[in-house]
Amino acid sequence: MSRTPDTWILTAQCPSVLGTVDALTRFLFEQRCYVTEHHSFDDRLSSRFFIRIEFRQPDDFDEQAFRDELDQRSAMFEMQTELTPPGYRAKVVLMVSKSDHCLNDLLYRQRIGHLPMDVVAVISNHPDLEPLARWHAIPYYHFALDPNDKPSQERKVLQVIEETGAELVVLARYMQVLSPELCRKLDGWAINIHHSLLPGFKGAKPYHQAYQKGVKLVGATAHYINNDLDEGPIIAQGVEPVDHSHYPEDLIAKGRDIECLTLAKAIGYHLERRVFLNANRTVVL
């Protein structure tokens, strides 16, 4: 589901009422825009409608006039709309601790153009990964965490996020719990990744605990952060089978790979405007 470089993205959500699909597709037809991809979903339990459309514009496309007319058409349906131009690259801040696998993977995917983003800063509570960020010519901010004064560290984090104009924050194995205040400020635009093991194993060495129980599945979950630890709206999940031949180090290695793939998938969905928040759930189109 990768986006072609010459298309616009139009997303909208509104109450479930008759005529929503027609309102947007007819409008695009009248504007002589060619639809290349279209997905929609109507949630009958919440009575909410969600739609995502990619389209190509005509040669004489007037963006401002298009936006003005779109606002008028969508108002009667109480639609919340968003329009993303071709080639748009979001500014992203990555937060890390000592593990480098997710950071390395995301910087590589940015470099080869797999993810339409510009990483404008890497923030960490440890200095270990600064050489990796420096190699990619990305500013690295090391803010050591004082257990007795966590708010001062988070103020520095938030200052970097605001000064860089970041539109997305990614906790790429950032091993610190964010305060409720910071979670509220990042609600809906910060993504976290963590392992998923059945049954769940919390605390130190979860993969060693999983090995002792003889788990048969390992996985990872990428979700938006909220004030409930690891319980925000889920964007993507990955899972792989394992068996008795997988020792703890094998489980850890497989877990790293799944975390990288799942996090990259979730970020791609977010950047391509495929994710809609629907209460504490997501709709991914």
The number of distinct structural domains making up the chain is: 2
What mean pLDDT is predicted for residues 173-201?
88
**Is 157 found in the same domain as 108?**
yes
Where a domain ends, among 84, 108, 133?
Answer: 84
Where a domain ends, among 57, 84, 111?
Answer: 84
Residue 3: inside a domain, yes or no? no
**Is 113 found in the same domain as 41?**
no
Where a domain ends, among 46, 64, 84?
Answer: 84
Residue 57: inside a domain, yes or no? yes
**Is 190 found in the same domain as 63?**
no
CATH of the domain at 23: 3.30.70.260
Residue 120: inside a domain, yes or no? yes
pLDDT at 210: 85
**Is 211 found in the same domain as 121?**
yes
Q: Tell me the residue range of the domain where 71 lies.
A: 8-84
Residue 2: inside a domain, yes or no? no
**Is 94 found in the same domain as 70?**
no
Told to judge if 230 belongs to the known catalytic residues of this protein, a careful annotator would answer: yes
Tell me the two tokens of residue 283.
């709709």
First to last CA, the chain: 9
Task: Write out the DSSP string of the chain.
Answer: -PPPTT-EEEEEEEE--TTHHHHHHHHHHHTTPEEEEEEEEEETTTTEEEEEEEEE--TT--HHHHHHHHHHHHHTTT-EEEEE-TT--EEEEEEE-S--HHHHHHHHHHHTTSS-EEEEEEEESSSTTHHHHHHTT--EEE----TT-HHHHHHHHHHHHHHHT-SEEEESS--SPPPHHHHHHTTTSEEEEEEEESS---SS-HHHHHHHHT-SEEEEEEEE--SSTT-SPEEEEEEEE--TT--HHHHHHHHHHHHHHHHHHHHHHHHTT-EEEETTEEEE-
Residue 33: inside a domain, yes or no? yes
Q: Residues 240-282: pLDDT tens digits?
A: 999 999 999 999 999 999 999 999 999 999 999 999 999 889 9
> How many residues are present in the chain?
285
Provide the whole-model pTM. 0.94
Residue 44: inside a domain, yes or no? yes
Model confidence at 233: pLDDT above 60: yes
Write phi, then psi, for 122 (nearest 5 degrees). Answer: -120, 125
**Is 220 found in the same domain as 150?**
yes
What mean pLDDT is predicted for residues 130-144?
96
Residue 232: inside a domain, yes or no? yes
**Is 151 found in the same domain as 270?**
yes
**Is 110 found in the same domain as 80?**
no
pLDDT at 73: 92
**Is 175 found in the same domain as 49?**
no
CATH of the domain at 102: 3.40.50.170
Residue 266: inside a domain, yes or no? yes
Least confident residue range of 46-60, 104-118, 134-148, 190-204? 190-204
pLDDT at 2: 60
Contact 13, 51 (CB under 8 A): yes
pLDDT at 75: 93
Model confidence at 95: pLDDT above 60: yes
Catalytic residue among 100, 230, 250, 257: 230
pLDDT at 206: 87
What mean pLDDT is predicted for residues 204-225?
90
What mean pLDDT is predicted for residues 45-64?
96
**Is 205 found in the same domain as 75?**
no
**Is 58 found in the same domain as 102?**
no
pLDDT at 1: 53
> b/e map of 76-108 (b: 16 or more CB within 10 Å)?
ebebebeebeeeeebebbbbbbebbbbbbbbbe
**Is 59 found in the same domain as 97?**
no
